[in-house]
Amino acid sequence: MNAKLNTSGQGGARHDADDAAADAAVEALEQQLSMLWRRARSNSYKVARRVHPDMEPAAYGLLVILQGEGAMRLTDIAASIGVGKPSVSRQIAMLEQLGLVQKEADPLDGRAQSISLTDAGSRQLLAAQTARKQAFRELMEDWEVEDLTCLGTLIAQLNETYIKDSW
């Protein structure tokens, strides 16, 4: 049975049972995500240090975005991750100081700046990603490929939900 969460508040015994099951499922999900996020923060610190010893963990995601998208404006980077421009600006300034990103005049608007990875930033990011992938392979070596694929699909679905329905 593929029941969906329903928050419409309709009555009835079956609906009450569905609500209780949904509440239990959401509580279990919240607990597991909380644990996953704590562990992910710890791992992010380690991965960031592989890129550069002075890099903040939150900046790793900015490098990955620039790797995938190419040069971007600061406002576009901030919008893509749903974080305020001042926070992203501070992280980009730190990454620029570390020699991992560079700013250039935006070819479409000379008043704006385009941010991209430097060659060193690309190399160091790729080395950290390679090490991270190997760590995941070792950690999940007993998992079936289908289960990994399913997990990736469900996490992508969760991420899309966050984009659509910000609190």
List beta partners, residue 102.
116
Query: In the numeric block, which tokens belong to residue 19?
Result: 């609500």
Please enumerate, as own/partner, the contacts of 98-105 that have beta carbons within 8 Å and a separation of 24 or more: 98/52, 98/54, 98/55, 100/51, 100/52, 100/55, 100/63, 100/124, 100/125, 101/62, 101/63, 101/66, 104/71
State residue 82's pLDDT score: 82
The overall average pLDDT reported for the chain is 86
- 83 pLDDT above the threshold of 90: no
- Domains of the chain in start order, with CATH, are 13-164 (1.10.10.10)
pTM of the complete model beyond 0.85: no
pLDDT, tens only, 95-108 = 999 999 999 987 77
* Of 68 and 18, the one with more pLDDT: 68
- 15 pLDDT above the threshold of 80: no
State residue 1's pLDDT score: 47
pLDDT, tens only, 152-161 = 999 999 888 8
For tokens 């998208």, name the residue. 69
Distances 67 to 52, 70, 118, 124, 140 between C-alpha atoms, Å: 16, 6, 10, 12, 25
Where do the DSSP E strands lie in the chain?
72-73, 101-106, 109-117
